[in-house]
Amino acid sequence: MFNQQEYINDFIKKNYRTIKLRIRKDDTLLLEKINSVNNINQYLISLITKDIFDNKQYNFINGEINIDFDLSKKMLELVNVCEKSDLQNDYNLYKKAFRSLELQAKKELDDNLIEEADFDNLIKRYKYERSN
C-alpha cells in the first residue's frame, strides 16, 4: 500500500538538507524577529542569498564595469543566469548564457531599446575568454 508520508519524507531526505539552528532563549531580539516572519526558511535563504551576492568574487565577469541602466525583462533574466553561473564557477553554463545575452543585446540595440554605450558595457562586463 502507498504510504504518502513515507514518500514525502524520502523525497525531502533525497532533495533537501536539514540544518538545525540553535538560538539562546535569552536572545529576545533574535527570537522576536524569527517569530515575526511568516516563513523562516524563505527568510533565511533570502538573507544567505543576499550575502552571497553582496560579497561575490567573480570568476568570469568584469566587476569593474557596472550596469547602471534599465534592462528588459529578458535581458535581466540572462544577466541573472550569467551572475549565478559565475558564482558557481560553471564555465559551460556561463558561456551559453553569455552567448544568449550577446544575441539579445544585439537585438535590443537593433530595435533601439538600448544605446550603443549600454551594449558595449554589457559585452565588456560579461564577455570572458578562458585562457586554458
pLDDT in tens, 61-114: 998 999 999 999 999 999 999 999 998 999 999 999 999 999 999 999 999 999
Whether this prediction's pTM lies above 0.85 is answered by no
- Helix 40-54 × helix 73-87 angle, to 10°: 80
What does the alpha-carbon distance between residue 26 and residue 80 come to, in Å, rounded to a whole number? 40
Residue 49 has a pLDDT of 85
Task: Tell me the three cell numbers of residue 77.
Answer: 533574466
Beta carbons within 8 Å of 17's beta carbon, 6+ residues apart: none
Q: What is the 3-state secondary structure (H, E, C) of the chain?
A: CCCHHHHHHHHHHHHCCCCCCCCCCCCHHHHHHHHHCCCHHHHHHHHHHHHHHHCCCCCCCCCCCCCCCCCCHHHHHHHHHHHHHHHCCCHHHHHHHHHHHHHHHHHHHHCCCCCHHHHHHHHHHHCCCCCC
pLDDT in tens, 21-31: 999 999 999 99
Q: What is the rounded average pLDDT for all residues in the chain?
A: 92
Do residues 53 and 80 lie in contact, with contact meaning Cβ atoms separated by under 8 Å?
no
